[in-house]
Amino acid sequence: MGRAAGRAAAGLLAALILAPVISLALSAAQGTGELWPNLAAYVLPGAIRDTVLLLLGVGLLVVAIGTGAAWLVAAFEFPGRRWLDAALLLPLAVPTYIVAYAYLDLLHPLGPVQGGLRALFGLTRPRDLPFPELRSLPGCILLLGLVLYPYVYLPTRALFLMQAGTLLEAARTLGAGPGRVFARIALPLARPAIALGTGLALMEALNDVGAAEFLGVRTLTVQVYATWVNRSDLPGAAQIALVMLVGVLGLLALERAGRGARGYAASARRDSPMSRRPLRGWWAGAALLLGLTPVALGFLLPAGYLLLAAVRRVRLAGWPGTLAAEVGHTLLYAGIATLAIGGVGLLVAASPGLLGRRSGRGLIRLAGLGYALPGTILAIGLLAPLAALDAGLSGLGAPQTLIGLGTGGALVIAYAIRFLTVAVGASEAGLSRIPASLPDAARMLGHGRLSTLARIQVPLAWPAIVSGCLLAFVECVKELPATLLLRPLNVETLSTHLYGEAARGTYEDGAPAALLIVAVGLVPVALLLHPRSGPRGVDGSADPHHATRSNHERGTA
């Protein structure tokens, strides 16, 4: 590939990623003069209020849980710590809408929790038992926080392990207790990681449509979906999505400001890791119980309910008749998108060597923009470009609807744009571990850039590339907003089937689909717990120095 051809391909990719944003603005401008005043007066104030309060609540909760859990496993030694260190990642396997789905049935007035409490206290009527209402903004904040805290836990734990043991030991010898060491030294040094993880968690909360709608919270994302699907008002949905996009850019700016220009703390020497303070007796039991609480509420309870509900459903009525087709559709679209994401992601990750360092780094940053676009914004922004492309192709004799709305192509493109950065990050990490002398030697022997990439770099970085593809596949399976809006007509996937059952209140019928999604979601957790390659950390886990430093240098959001 010549430099000119490579830059042309990079320009095409950049246009594909930026097209939804430009299209969104154009669609919003097509709204009638009466539409925007109506939205501004009756829709946006409540949606903006609920969205801001949701993000504030979720942000505070994930920081508290994620940072506290990271300090607990990094700074203290107690029986069960290693198991807890791994278990704290498990809520990553459960999408937010599935947690809401499970808890709505668990905590229903006629459900097992309230039914058991009434039996315990001898009550006969549901209204005799005062119980907090889950369908509320506080309920939504709590459930999202219990699922999203690992985004803060992972990088913050890595930063705590990076901090030089001598620095913390010096503070202890000067008389500082564990609380003061945490507040005055460890926490300020870990601020970049906390900001990074909180930004990711808030992006996921903003992208959520299922949990918020199930729990009666009318966020901007829910209003976009309702305006388009229920009212058939595309310009109105685009106008709300444009407001939402401004919020996304604000979140990115806040995350950058939270990290500031600070670098990460100096790496701990291999012979001087952060020493853990041993806990004994009831202190050890309290630490283990405290750490297991978010794991139980964020994973064990909803996953256990789904398993029991699925078994009960299968025993009574067998597997849902449409489940096989839904599994097939899910695997088909996620699989095609993963192949595209893996191939394009590898080329983007290698672009600094193929196109030049400046152009390549710019392309890598641009690839990260897709993940910053919530699925609803991406879906609306893709409508006009894909319709125009279909019209152009039909003029050349192609079928009238080749890749636009109503076909699987639109969904695959949305998946590819949104999750491209997952494969880019994994491929870039794998390529960065290859000694520069190897591709240099290949070039000296007459191999071109693409030949060197295919014959030398890809085989050596293959485990990282495959891991990135697996992560992208899981994200495609779990994605709900874009799937709801762009799936072909009369086609259901596992996520949309679950959404429909929850909307109808037939929870047990959706339990098998939810359980399958959770099983797929365990894949990235297994990859995080058992990495197959890469440097090792001071505690035997994946080296936090390399992973966190790479993310910081790339400036990923």
92 to 88, 148, 294, 303, 366: CA distances (angstroms): 9, 7, 12, 12, 26
| Comparison of pLDDT for 454 and 339, the residue scoring more | 339
Of 93, 507, 147, nearest to 305 by C-alpha is: 507
User: Would you say residue 149 has pLDDT above 90?
Assistant: yes
State the pLDDT at residue 138. Answer: 94
Across-strand partners of 277?
A: 76
The 3-state secondary structure of 4-30 reads HHHHHHHHHHHHHHHHHHHHHHHHHHC
The 3-state secondary structure of 405-446 reads CCCHHHHHHHHHHHHHHHHHHHHHHHHHCCCCHHHHHHHHCC
- Answer yes or no: is 415 within a domain: yes
State the pLDDT at residue 406. Answer: 60
What confidence category does residue 182 fall into, taking pLDDT thresholds of 50, 70 and 90? confident
Across residues 53-57, what is the average pLDDT?
94
Q: Which of 19-28, 101-110, 485-494, 531-540 has the lowest mean pLDDT?
A: 531-540
State the pLDDT at residue 148. Answer: 94
State the pLDDT at residue 460. Answer: 87
- Answer yes or no: is 155 within a domain: no
- Answer yes or no: is 540 within a domain: no
- Of all residues in the chain, the percent with pLDDT exceeding 70 is 83
Total structural domains within the chain: 1
- Answer yes or no: is 464 within a domain: yes
User: Would you say residue 473 has pLDDT above 90?
Assistant: yes
For residue 142, give the H/E element and its range. helix 137-148
State the pLDDT at residue 271. Answer: 41
| Comparison of pLDDT for 370 and 325, the residue scoring more | 325
Please write the tens of the pLDDT for every residue from 78-137: 999 999 998 999 998 889 999 998 898 888 888 888 888 888 888 877 777 788 888 899
Mean pLDDT (the chain) is 80
SS3 label, residue 76: strand
Across residues 346-356, what is the average pLDDT?
83
Please write the tens of the pLDDT for every residue from 506-525: 777 888 889 999 999 888 88
- Answer yes or no: is 486 within a domain: yes
Across residues 286-304, what is the average pLDDT?
94
- Answer yes or no: is 173 within a domain: no
DSSP letters for 469-501: HHHHHHHHHH--HHHHHHSPTT---HHHHHHHH
Q: Which of 22-36, 149-163, 268-282, 460-474 has the lowest mean pLDDT?
A: 268-282
State the pLDDT at residue 294. Answer: 95
- Answer yes or no: is 521 within a domain: no
Across-strand partners of 76?
A: 277
| C-alpha–C-alpha distance, residues 205 and 200, integer Å | 9
State the pLDDT at residue 509. Answer: 84
What confidence category does residue 319 fall into, taking pLDDT thresholds of 50, 70 and 90? confident
Q: Which domain holds residue 477?
A: 323-491
Longest dimension (CA), the chain: 84
Residue 354: which CATH number?
A: 1.10.3720.10
Of 405, 555, 377, 370, nearest to 491 by C-alpha is: 405
238 to 99, 118, 246, 252, 397: CA distances (angstroms): 29, 47, 12, 21, 31
Helical segments of 76-111, H only? 81-87, 96-106
Across residues 334-357, what is the average pLDDT?
88
Residue that is written with structure tokens 């905590």 in the block = 107
What confidence category does residue 405 fall into, taking pLDDT thresholds of 50, 70 and 90? low
Residue that is written with structure tokens 């360092």 in the block = 357
User: Would you say residue 536 has pLDDT above 50?
Assistant: no
- Answer yes or no: is 115 within a domain: no
| C-alpha–C-alpha distance, residues 494 and 489, integer Å | 15
Q: Which of 44-48, 54-58, 365-369, 475-479 has the lowest mean pLDDT?
A: 365-369
State the pLDDT at residue 140. Answer: 94
| C-alpha–C-alpha distance, residues 93 and 78, integer Å | 26
